């Protein structure tokens, strides 16, 4: 599951409260997978394993000890890593924590390609590497994925050079939508170091058509996942952190119309580790100004449970365990003609506050 | 200076040979005057500005496109004019030339934080790691840097799902500016994996005020650096790749005014490896749409030579070899009060086509 490295970058990994392997634990072990049977070091987090050999290969161990010694993670035992001593052990823990926890990791997307529910989305072309060590080729993505997210529209912004404190940030939120951050995993894998996603994300983002206000959502506020190890830096501390209890689902419907929808993911906005006010505080911490109409998305909303993965990358264990649809067909990634439908809803006492749906059909890549 | 319209029609405007804004240049910008504070489009000529709103009001745009669209010059931005496309741009240029000259003269961050030359830039706060293996702290950046770049404005864009071929991309370029992509190296080092720069770059980007057109720059086109190993993928292949020969420099002036400027970098747009048409082809290859007014920047323009580094990170060898200013003080990175001035110019035969300057002074970080 080297692919899980990418999932880790979403800065939130769902861990059941009863798990021994919480984010406070981070124990080391040796593991292998069907897709890659080479035994190698990893860190257990809930039911997942963070592949340290992949972290090393991506050059993410950048501290003074491990930057020149990260081959210790390309070994079938932990001995080599153990022998490096405490500075290396602390460095490795901090790197893993940083990947998972220290800062909300974000990137700037393109506003031009945000489209409303019902708009078809064309499969993108891009540079992909077909086999390790090979030169890239320019091809239609063969690993087109959805990402179950929610988007938040900024109402009132801030002046350039000022910042929005985490405690005040909620007042700047005009409202919320469902968001599908379509992602081309093969393009992403090739391009994302060191400047982040570009062509793998910029070809389209779908949102639901109605902006639901905080006033409507307030009755559904619930405490956010706790944060104390590490404690957030002061600028990220928000009193009474909460998220809305929005039940979310993703369904896929193949082309043709005979087959019905199959729900492939169920999650909830409650699982968000960095709340939107914290993300706004982070975005503006350096003085960057937000403006009315700017949209911030949550990142993939995954949670525990058999359908808890918010994207196919995670649901199919990096393409190694296909998902089955109701017509018997299987998916590792999306096929042309597939329609992805996201829905989200808060259940009140005899009423609902919901988002309608966010729907998009995959069109074939344009001819070259 | 709307009154200057009359002077312009006298068909002769004196322009100093050293001026960046010769009659061969004719760059577009937004200006206002004490007498008429409404921001509106103009063309810089020497020390003067030709008021395009007045030219339009006088009915002087009489070509097939602009005769019915000249309200685009009664706007506070150039976007409306940009969106009309190349026939309109050429018509405008010809109209201005005709007004001025009876002789034949040949001739892709956050948009919210792009500021015009002369705007102060506040040192950003952000997460930095003070020593390897340590937890991060939230502090003002102590490694604030400039990046010498040029920015390119998209005039006409493309439809979402389509792409702009490299061979046609030049026709989508409305014009060029100098750009300082201010960067906080300590924030960047901590945050950039795996989603790329965020707070380290989004606090500000300065640009020069006048958009210089391809028509003015064409005489300075020179072959671009060769690309054959590896050969670009077909979608990046552009016949007759060229860049403009724009001599660039960066000067730093400390606070106080006693000390003069010290030139700390000299480079040239010619060194650009991926030409802007290639970058446009890449940006749109996956179907992402560009829109009128979008700006793409080149990335740091470094070249060979003792002053060839286009940013302090490179010039000081990552902070290990300070640069000396004319007042004897030293810089690894920028200090509060430092003014960074970028200039760029093409030298013609007895005339210049230049960009004026892109200037910004570093303000101290805001109090916490
Ligand atoms: Ca997207
Ligand atoms: Ca910048
Ligand atoms: Mg995403
Ligand atoms: Mg840059
Ligand atoms: Ni961008």
* Chain-chain contact of B286 with A203 (C-beta, under 8 angstroms): yes
Hey, is B41 helix, strand or coil?
strand
b (16+ CB within 10 A) / e for A100-111:
bbbbbbbbbbbe
CA A162 – CA A132 distance, rounded (Å): 45
- What is the SS3 assignment for B343? strand
Q: Is B192 annotated as a binding residue?
A: yes
Taken in order A280, A282, A285, A287, the sign of the CA dihedral is: negative
Q: By C-alpha distance, which of A298, A293, A112, A146 is closest to A211?
A: A293
Q: Do A108 and B192 touch (CB under 8 A)?
A: no
Q: Is the pLDDT of residue A231 over 70?
A: yes
Say what the pTM is: 0.76
State the distance from the centre of ligand 1 to the C-alpha of A270, rounded, in angstroms: 22
Phi, psi of B227 (to 5 degrees): -135, 100
Residue A238 in tokens = 């928000």
| Residue to test with chain A: of B114, B145, B194, most A Cβ within 10 A | B194
> pLDDT value at position A24?
66
pLDDT at A102: 63
Angle made by CA atoms B2, B7, B9, in degrees to the nearest 5: 105
Find the ligand nearest to A150 CA: 3
pLDDT value of position A20: 66
pLDDT at A199: 87
CB contact B286 to A (< 8 Å) = yes
State how far the Cα of B68 lies from the Cα of A92, in Å rounded to an integer.
Answer: 66
Selecting from A161, A203, A286 the residue whose C-beta is nearest the C-beta of B287 gives A203
Q: How high is the mean pLDDT of chain A?
A: 86
Q: Which residues in chain B are closer than 8 Å to A182, comparing Cβ atoms?
A: none
- What is the pLDDT, as a whole number, of residue B317? 85
Q: A204 forms bridges with which residues in the sheet?
A: none
Please write the tens of the pLDDT for every residue from B220-258: 999 998 887 677 888 999 999 999 999 999 999 999 877
A269 vs A178: CA distance, rounded Å = 10
Q: Tell if the CB–CB gap between A288 and B134 is shorter than 8 Å.
A: no
pLDDT in tens, A206-217: 998 888 888 888
Chain B contact probe: residue of A286, A289, A298 with most B CBs at under 10 A: A286
What is the Cα–Cα distance from B342 to B178, expressed in whole angstroms? 7
Which of A134, A287, A363 is the best residue to mutate to test the B interface, defined by the most B CB atoms within 10 Å of its own CB?
A: A287
Residue A120 has pLDDT above 90, yes or no: yes
How far is the C-alpha of A326 from the C-alpha of B98, rounded, in Å? 69
Residue numbers of A between 29 and 48 with CB closer than 8 Å to B: none
Q: CA-nearest residue of chain A to B194?
A: A196
Q: Which of residues 292-331 of A touch B (CB under 8 A)?
A: 294
The total of other beta-carbon atoms located within 10 Å of residue B168's CB is: 14
Q: Do B291 and A161 touch (CB under 8 A)?
A: no
d(CA B208, CA A113): 28
Residues of chain A contacting residue B200, judged by C-beta atoms under 8 Å apart: 286
pLDDT at position A113: 92
At residue B132, the pLDDT reads 76
One digit per residue, pLDDT tens: chain B, 368 residues? 222 333 333 334 556 777 788 777 788 888 998 888 899 999 888 788 889 998 888 788 888 899 889 899 999 998 888 888 888 988 898 888 767 654 322 114 788 899 999 999 999 999 998 887 788 889 999 999 999 999 998 888 999 999 999 999 999 998 899 999 999 999 988 887 667 778 898 899 999 988 888 888 999 999 998 887 677 888 999 999 999 999 999 999 999 877 899 999 999 999 888 899 999 999 999 899 998 888 999 989 988 888 999 999 989 988 889 999 999 999 999 999 999 999 999 998 888 888 989 999 999 999 98
B339 annotated ligand-binding residue = no
Residues of chain B with CATH 2.30.30.230: 7-99
Candidate from A59, A103, A107 with C-beta closest to B196 = A107
- A187 closest CB neighbour out of B133, B190, B286: B286
Task: Single out the residue of A363, A202, A296, A125 nearest to residue B290, CA to CA.
Answer: A202
A297 contacts A179 by C-beta, under 8 angstroms: yes
Give chain A positions within 8 Å (CB) of B286: 124-126, 141, 184, 187, 199-200, 202-203
Among residues of chain A, what percentage have pLDDT more than 70?
A: 90
Q: How far is the CA of A291 from the centre of ligand 4 (A)?
A: 23
B59 touches chain A (CB under 8 A): no
Residue A287 and residue B124: Cβ atoms within 8 Å?
A: yes
Residues of chain A with CATH 3.90.850.10: 109-363
Neighbours of ion ligand 4 (CB under 5 A): B 147, 181
Name the pairing type of β-strands A247-253 and A262-268: antiparallel
* A94-112 mean pLDDT: 76
For domain B7-99, give the fold.
Answer: SH3 type barrels. (2.30.30)
Distance from CA of A368 to the nearest CA of B (A): 9
User: For A297-343, what is each residue's pLDDT tens digit?
Assistant: 999 999 988 899 999 999 998 888 999 999 999 999 999 999 999 99
pLDDT, tens digit, 9 for 90 and up, residues B33-82:
888 889 999 988 878 888 999 888 878 888 889 988 989 999 999 888 88
User: Contact A195/B198, CB-based, under 8 Å?
Assistant: no
pLDDT at site B191: 81
Is B351 marked within a binding site?
no
DSSP conformation class of B123: P
Q: How far apart are the first and last CA of chain B?
A: 43
> Does B116 contact chain A (CB < 8 Å)?
no
Measured distance CA(B166)–CA(A228) in Å, rounded = 51
CB pairs under 8 A between A and B: 187
Give chain B's radius of gyration (CA, Å). Answer: 21
CB–CB contact A124 B197 (8 Å): no
Q: What is the mean pLDDT of chain B?
A: 86
The answer for B216, left when phi > 0, alpha when psi is -120 to 50, beta otherwise, is alpha
Gap between the Cα atoms of A289 and A295, Å rounded: 13
- Is the N-terminal amide bond of A230 cis, ω within 30° of 0? yes
All residues of chain B having their beta carbon less than 8 Å from the beta carbon of residue A124 are: 285-287
For testing the chain A interface, which of B133, B139, B166, B279 should be mutated: the one with the most A CBs within 10 Å? B133
With CA atoms as reference, report the closest residue to A61 among A86, A26, A36, A91: A91
CA of A9 to the centre of ligand 3 (A): 10
| Ligand nearest, relative to CA of residue A113 | 1
Element counts in chain B: helices (H) and strands (E) = 8, 21
With contacts defined as CB-CB under 8 Å, which chain B residues touch A235? Answer: 125, 138
Q: What band does A193 get if pLDDT is binned at 50, 70 and 90?
A: low
Residue of chain A whose alpha carbon sits nearest to that of B368 = A235
Which chain B residues are within 8 Å of A138, Cβ to Cβ?
Answer: 233-235, 285
Q: Which fold has domain A109-363?
A: Fumarylacetoacetate hydrolase; domain 2 (3.90.850)
Q: Complex ipTM, two decimals?
A: 0.72
pLDDT at A131: 78
Q: How far is CA A278 from CA A161, A283, B204, in A?
A: 18, 9, 21
> B199 contacts in A (CB within 8 Å)?
282-283, 285-286, 288
Q: How far apart are the first and last CA of chain A?
A: 33
Residue range A19-47: mean pLDDT, rounded? 79
């Amino acid at each position: 599951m080297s692919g899980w490295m990418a999932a880790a970058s979403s800065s939130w990994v769902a861990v059941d409260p009863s798990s021994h392997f919480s984010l406070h634990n981070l124990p080391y072990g040796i593991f292998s997978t069907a897709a890659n049977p080479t035994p190698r070091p990893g860190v257990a987090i809930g039911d997942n394993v963070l592949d340290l050999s992949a972290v090393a290969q991506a050059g993410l161990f950048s501290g003074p000890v491990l930057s020149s010694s990260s081959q210790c993670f390309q070994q079938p035992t932990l001995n080599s890593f153990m022998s490096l001593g405490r500075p290396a052990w602390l460095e490795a823990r901090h790197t893993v924590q940083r990947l998972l926890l220290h800062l909300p990791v974000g990137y700037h997307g393109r506003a031009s390609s945000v489209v409303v529910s019902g708009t078809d989305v064309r499969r993108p072309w891009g540079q992909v590497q077909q086999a390790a060590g090979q030169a890239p080729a320019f091809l239609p993505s063969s690993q087109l994925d959805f990402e179950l997210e929610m988007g938040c529209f900024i109402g009132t912004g801030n002046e350039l050079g000022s910042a929005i404190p985490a405690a005040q940030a909620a007042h700047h939120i005009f409202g919320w939508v469902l968001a599908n951050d379509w992602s081309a995993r093969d393009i992403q894998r090739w391009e994302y170091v060191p400047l982040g996603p570009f062509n793998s994300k910029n070809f389209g983002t779908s949102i639901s058509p109605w902006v639901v206000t905080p006033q409507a959502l307030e009755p559904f506020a619930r405490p956010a996942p706790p944060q104390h190890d590490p404690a957030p830096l002061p600028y990220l501390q928000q009193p009474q952190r909460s998220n809305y209890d929005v039940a979310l689902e993703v369904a896929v419907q193949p082309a043709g119309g005979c087959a019905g929808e199959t729900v492939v993911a169920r999650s909830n906005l409650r699982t968000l580790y960095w709340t939107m006010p914290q993300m706004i505080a982070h975005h503006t911490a350096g003085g960057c100004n937000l403006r009315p109409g700017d949209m911030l998305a949550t990142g993939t909303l995954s949670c525990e449970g058999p359908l808890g993965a918010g994207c196919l990358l995670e649901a199919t264990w990096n393409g190694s365990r296909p998902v089955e649809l109701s017509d018997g067909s299987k998916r590792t990634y999306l096929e042309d003609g597939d329609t992805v439908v996201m829905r989200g809803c808060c259940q009140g006492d005899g009423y609902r506050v919901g988002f309608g749906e966010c729907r998009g059909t995959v069109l074939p890549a344009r001819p070259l």
